[in-house]
Amino acid sequence: MKALIRREFWEHRGAFIKAPIIISIVLLVIAIVGYIIGLVFANKTGSAEIVHKGINELHNLSEKQLSTFWDVQLISTSTLFLFVLFIVLFFFILGSLFDDRKDGSIQFWKSLPISDSETVLSKLITAMIFVPLVFTAVFAAYMLANMVLTSILLMFHGQNPWTLVWVPASIVKGILTMLIGALTQMLWAMPIYGWLMFSSSWSKRRPFLFAIFIPLLVAVSWYFLNVVTRMNFVQVEMFKWPAKFFMFSALPYGTNAGGSGFQINLGEGGMSLIDIASNLKGSIMHMEIIYGIIFSAVFIALSIWVRRYRNTT
């Protein structure tokens, strides 16, 4: 199993490892460029004095306010990471049981003493556990780099980075938040992963079109069936469900949009670790997740079956 998971990382080094690193670098570069432009602009307009004053005022902010500032940054950047993670996994799973059939290398994989269940499950575990962990690790490194960068800039202006950065911001909190986001995402995305896996295994030529159009076709047929049989023009459940799972998978912190989900309490003092823990509970205590997992299990089992008995060359 270890070898199979390593194999996925060899094949998808770019998407699994380079993608989060690139996001980090882009975010840092934007921060630096933004700072420089801001400074140049301030000098030109003669407002450098005001900027300087503003920076000097920073240490008058309370620890709670600073904490809130860093938490907002934490939530917004980890949202970006999780969004990209979802896209990466979407396309990874969609290709996972298709690409090797396309290039014929399935014949090599099948010539080794590895069962098809192991193969399929290794891909699923890679997507559900290992890639999110890599993204989390890179996110932690990004946070650290961002804090160091901010400290350096603050020291230019004669500020004390300890009170402004290192006390209010916490990498541990960052890692925890990111992990919770990834876990929430994974649970909500289970039915999507299961369906993509099945599309990848089943489809003979275009897994992407298969994965998108079959559910769309079902939903549209359902809609018109309701229109015709019950004159019900507002029956949109079949669109709402996939959309909901999609939204929460792509933006797991948005889970509270449906009600009792992720509450980001950015009032005084930012998020405490208890907030984070209760958010976890709120995000995953949904019946829909249970249905999603059952749906997913069925389609993963089907993917294995197709891989085993139909996809031989």
Nearest by Cα to 93 from 213, 190, 219, 13: 190
- Looking at the Cβ atoms of 127 and 251, the one nearer to another protein is 127
- Decide: is 17 part of the binding site for another protein (CB under 8 A): no
Say which residues have a Cβ less than 8 Å from residue 115's Cβ, sequence separation at least 6.
none
Considering only residues 2, 44, 205, 230, which one is a binding residue for another protein as defined by CB under 8 A? Answer: 2
- Looking at the Cβ atoms of 108 and 213, the one nearer to another protein is 108
- Looking at the Cβ atoms of 106 and 154, the one nearer to another protein is 106
Q: Closest distance between another protein and the C-beta of residue 113, in Å? A: 4
Considering only residues 44, 60, 113, 234, which one is a binding residue for another protein as defined by CB under 8 A? Answer: 113
Positive or negative CA dihedral for 96, 101, 102, 103? positive
- Decide: is 110 part of the binding site for another protein (CB under 8 A): yes
DSSP symbols for 282-305: HHH--HHHHHHHHHHHHHHHHHHH
Give SS3 for 106.
Answer: helix
Query: x/- site string to another protein, residues 86 to 105, per CB under 8 A?
Result: --------------x--xxx
Q: Closest distance between another protein and the C-beta of residue 310, in Å? A: 10
Q: Closest distance between another protein and the C-beta of residue 128, in Å? A: 21
- Decide: is 4 part of the binding site for another protein (CB under 8 A): yes
Question: Could you say which residues in the range 116-145 bind another protein, by CB under 8 A?
Answer: 116, 118
Query: Tokens 């999110």, residue?
Result: 132
Phi, psi (5° rounding) for residue 97? -110, 15
For 5, other C-beta atoms within 10 Å of its C-beta total 15
Query: x/- site string to another protein, residues 45 to 84, per CB under 8 A?
Result: ----------------------------------------
Say which residues have a Cβ less than 8 Å from residue 22's Cβ, sequence separation at least 6.
none
Say which residues have a Cβ less than 8 Å from residue 131's Cβ, sequence separation at least 6.
16, 85, 88, 89, 92
Cβ contact 195:215 at 8 Å: yes
Contacts with another protein, residue ranges (CB under 8 A): 2-4, 6-7, 10-11, 100, 103-108, 110-116, 118, 309, 312-313
